[in-house]
Structure 1
């Protein structure tokens, strides 16, 4: 092989090796980012499953509350626990969104640094790299638009997932209430009505006793108020 060909191939190989070394950190970072995003997607899916399970548990526990003596206190406790756990789920979502933003910012910085490194290497090799041409600027702008569109799509997907979870929970409540909460509430209200009737009967007996000059019996305490279903979180 002639010497000039050996020199040409050696130079090309050296340049290719230099570019590969310069690109490999960014490529590795992008691969790691893709893997991390896949993990975060799985985590978001798990959050939605946890949210649906939390809503189903709330429905069951509220139905149990209506069978207890202290209904209102029981409902307050159940709903407070649900609010705390829902807040924890939201915090997990916020942490995932923050991780997305930090990762994208780090990739942008690394991409800029790699381009600067390539420019320095060309200068050290004796080349005179031209300033960024219109095509390069257009490519950078297109990349920025693609990232913004991706962010918007991700936010829309998260919102859609939350709406689906909310609709599913609402449907579960609608399906469960006739068989669980409404039935339990009906039993509770029947007990309240019976207690009110006994109280009215007792009051009538007191009035009759007073009218006849006898000592009336002590008054019965009023029944507790019926919990409002609209107080649910």
Structure 2
């Protein structure tokens, strides 16, 4: 009876895994479609930018929009992969637990020597379960590292945009100050020239 129950659980788990595999495949297809859509949108925006006056600003904005969409899709893909790894690890642990249960059942009805052999098998399966748990933890750490790298990249890109904007602002301000200085210098020359005109006319001999 117990074996039939375990077999039913295994069949149900297998059916559930197939459903999840189909869901994962559908999600991957959706992410791929969204990424292709983002690239197509960026190409269209890039083409439109070359018809505008502020080409560089337009291109930068288009790149920023694409980067935001791609980063979000990448985060979704990482989460999907992480969930898939956890599910695989859980399935592996479930298989190990099932094997352990079967071995315990055999050990209960077998002679002492058979029980000893089953115990060694249990220890081997438990070590495999521990390795599966460690692999799951390593995968989670790798996913976290990748998220941290993406966050740092986004922060660096934002900082560069701020620096570029500040440099453009400073250059514009400098150009304005230079233009103002030239304008003041030109007005000064005109005033000096106007003051010299009467002095020059007084030097002429009276008629």
Alignment of 1:1-233 (within 5 A): 17-124=1-108, 126-128=109-111, 129=114, 131=117
Contact 1:23 1:114 in 2 (8 A): no
> Retained in 2: the 8 A contact 1:26–1:107?
no
Runs of 4+ residues over 4 Å off in structure 1: none
Structure 1 distance, partners of 2:100, 2:27, is 36
Runs of 5+ consecutive residues of structure 1 not aligned to the other structure: 1-16, 138-233
SS in 1 for 2:83: helix
User: Displacement, 1:93?
Assistant: 1.4
Maintained 8 Å contact 1:54/1:82: yes
Which has the larger share of helix?
2
Q: Per-residue CA shift, 1:115-142, capped at 9, x if unaligned?
A: 1112222344x33456369xxx9xxxxx
* Matched residue count: 119
Give the secondary structure class of the aligned counterpart of 2:53: coil
Is contact 1:30-1:107 (8 Å) kept? Answer: no
Shift of 1:80: 0.4
CA RMSD in angstroms, aligned pairs only: 2.4
**Cα deviation digits, residues 4-49 of structure 1 (max 9, x gap):** xxxxxxxxxxxxx321102222322222122111111111111111
Give CA-to-partner distance per residue, 1:168-196, whole Å, 9 cap, x none: xxxxxxxxxxxxxxxxxxxxxxxxxxxxx
Q: 1:138-173: CA deviations, max 9, x gaps?
A: xxxxxxxxxxxxxxxxxxxxxxxxxxxxxxxxxxxx
Q: Distance in 1 between matches of 2:7 and 2:100?
A: 12
The TM-score with structure 2 as length reference comes to 0.51
User: What is the CA–CA distance in structure 2 between the aligned matches of 1:120 and 1:45, rounded to whole Å?
Assistant: 43
Q: 1:91 deviation in Å?
A: 1.3
Distance 2:59 2:10 in 1: 54
